[in-house]
């Protein structure tokens, strides 16, 4: 291509939607953000609104001179023809669909569709890829059936420890005070039941960092919760590795999502993985998910 061209990446989840635009050299020129857009937990109208907000912000930040030729998108909603057409119309390029796993690999600096990606944000899931095209996944069953180790799971486990403390069924924990402060509620049966009966999933998940912070401070209940979360997440990676690789193979593992911002959790997951697969190259993100997907899409386009 003679003229300079640009590639976009759109990644959306239970807490936010990100649209990033990079140039042909891989330089990020703009990022736009929108609200939650997980199609399993939001109405399609809200999903489209979040997408529109993220895209409009990215376009405004990039400037009119930027012409996108290809957009990578992790959204399940992009499989809907009307939504896919809307993305193409707003950004001006064709739309190529990817998994959250490919976005996670890109965010960790891996440009090849190979290895394992573990995502632990509002929800959790893991994706595995081999060079001969084999793919598989683990987790991602949603907040009712799974999502172990996710921010939502950590937050709910913390809130349950708070209710057990109030009942006298569990040990004392600072999580109760942290929950009351974070959600602006008072301790007690009525206030907890009434408040959390209608609280959105992403708002509950926002409490997870308070639980991990309590663990770092030595709170026993919080330490148990975070340790269990790390073990559950590592088990997803190990389950996929058993299917795809031998114990001595070298393969990349991307740890992605808000839960990985807690270095102790990421380190614990890494140790558990490397106990079983010592040659795994485990990395945390160096790019945001939208940027990572845009770079992965750019490399995918250049590579054919």
SS (H, E, C) 93-124: CEEEECCHHHHHHHHCCCCCCCEEEEEECCCE
pLDDT (0 to 100) of residue 1:
42
Least confident window among 12-16, 31-35, 196-200, 224-228? 12-16
The model's confidence at residue 255, banded by pLDDT at 50, 70 and 90, is very high
| pLDDT tops 80 at residue 176 | yes
pLDDT (0 to 100) of residue 105:
92
> What percent of the chain has a predicted confidence (pLDDT) above 90?
51
| pLDDT tops 90 at residue 220 | yes
Q: How far apart are CA 280 and CA 268, in angstroms?
A: 14
pLDDT (0 to 100) of residue 227:
95
- List Cα–Cα distances, 14 to 100, 109, 121, 142, 165, in angstroms: 12, 23, 8, 11, 29
The model's confidence at residue 117, banded by pLDDT at 50, 70 and 90, is very high
Segment 127-139 mean pLDDT: 93
pLDDT (0 to 100) of residue 91:
84
Segment 136-161 mean pLDDT: 91
The model's confidence at residue 51, banded by pLDDT at 50, 70 and 90, is confident
pLDDT (0 to 100) of residue 251:
96
Cβ proximity of 187 and 241 under 8 Å: no
pLDDT (0 to 100) of residue 218:
95
Cβ proximity of 7 and 70 under 8 Å: yes
pLDDT (0 to 100) of residue 222:
96
The model's confidence at residue 304, banded by pLDDT at 50, 70 and 90, is low
Segment 170-198 mean pLDDT: 92
pLDDT (0 to 100) of residue 52:
87
Report strand pairing: 281-283 vs 28-34. unpaired
The model's confidence at residue 82, banded by pLDDT at 50, 70 and 90, is confident
Q: How far apart are CA 286 and CA 92, in angstroms?
A: 27
Please, what is the average pLDDT of the chain?
89
What does residue 31 show for φ and ψ, rounded to 5 degrees? -135, 135
pLDDT (0 to 100) of residue 2:
46
- List Cα–Cα distances, 287 to 21, 52, 100, 119, 203, in angstroms: 13, 22, 14, 14, 24
| pLDDT tops 60 at residue 33 | yes
The model's confidence at residue 68, banded by pLDDT at 50, 70 and 90, is confident
Segment 42-50 mean pLDDT: 78
| pLDDT tops 60 at residue 279 | yes
Least confident window among 8-17, 124-133, 245-254? 8-17
- Token look-up 């590592």 returns 234
Q: How far apart are CA 292 and CA 134, in angstroms?
A: 22
Tokens of 160: 């349950």
Segment 183-203 mean pLDDT: 88
Q: What residues pair up with 256 in beta bridges, in sequence order?
A: 119
Closest-CA residue to 127 (of 40, 211, 246, 243): 243
Closest-CA residue to 60 (of 89, 81, 29): 29
Question: Does 171 or 38 have the greater pLDDT score?
Answer: 171
pLDDT (0 to 100) of residue 42:
65
- List Cα–Cα distances, 84 to 10, 77, 156, in angstroms: 12, 8, 34
| pLDDT tops 60 at residue 56 | yes
């Amino acid at each position: 291509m003679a003229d300079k061209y640009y590639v976009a990446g759109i990644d959306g989840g239970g807490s936010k939607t990100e649209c990033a635009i990079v140039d042909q050299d891989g330089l990020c020129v703009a990022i736009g953000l929108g609200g939650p857009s997980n199609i399993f937990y939001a109405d399609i109208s809200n999903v489209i609104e979040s997408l529109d907000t993220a895209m409009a912000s990215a376009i405004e930040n990039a400037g009119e001179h930027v012409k996108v030729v290809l957009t990578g998108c992790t959204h399940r909603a992009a499989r809907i023809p009307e939504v896919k057409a809307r993305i193409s119309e707003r950004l001006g390029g064709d739309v190529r669909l990817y998994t959250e796993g490919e976005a996670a690999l890109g965010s960790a600096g891996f440009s090849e569709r190979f290895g394992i990606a573990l995502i632990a944000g509002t929800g959790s899931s893991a994706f595995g890829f081999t060079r001969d095209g084999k793919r598989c996944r683990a987790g991602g069953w949603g907040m009712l059936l799974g999502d172990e180790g996710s921010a939502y799971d950590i937050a709910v486990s913390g809130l349950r420890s708070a209710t057990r403390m109030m009942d006298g069924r569990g040990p004392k924990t600072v999580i109760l005070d942290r929950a009351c402060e974070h959600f602006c509620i008072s301790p007690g049966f009525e206030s907890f039941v009434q408040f959390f009966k209608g609280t959105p999933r992403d708002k509950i998940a926002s409490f997870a960092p308070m639980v991990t912070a309590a663990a770092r401070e030595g709170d026993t209940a919080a330490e148990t919760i975070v340790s269990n979360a790390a073990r559950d997440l590592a088990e997803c990676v190990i389950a996929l590795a058993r299917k795809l690789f031998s114990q001595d193979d070298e393969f990349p593992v991307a740890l992605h999502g808000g839960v990985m911002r807690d270095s102790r959790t990421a380190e614990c997951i890494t140790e558990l993985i490397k106990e079983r697969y010592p040659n795994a190259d485990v990395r945390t993100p160096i790019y945001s998910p939208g940027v990572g997907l845009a770079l992965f899409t750019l490399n995918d386009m250049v590579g054919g």
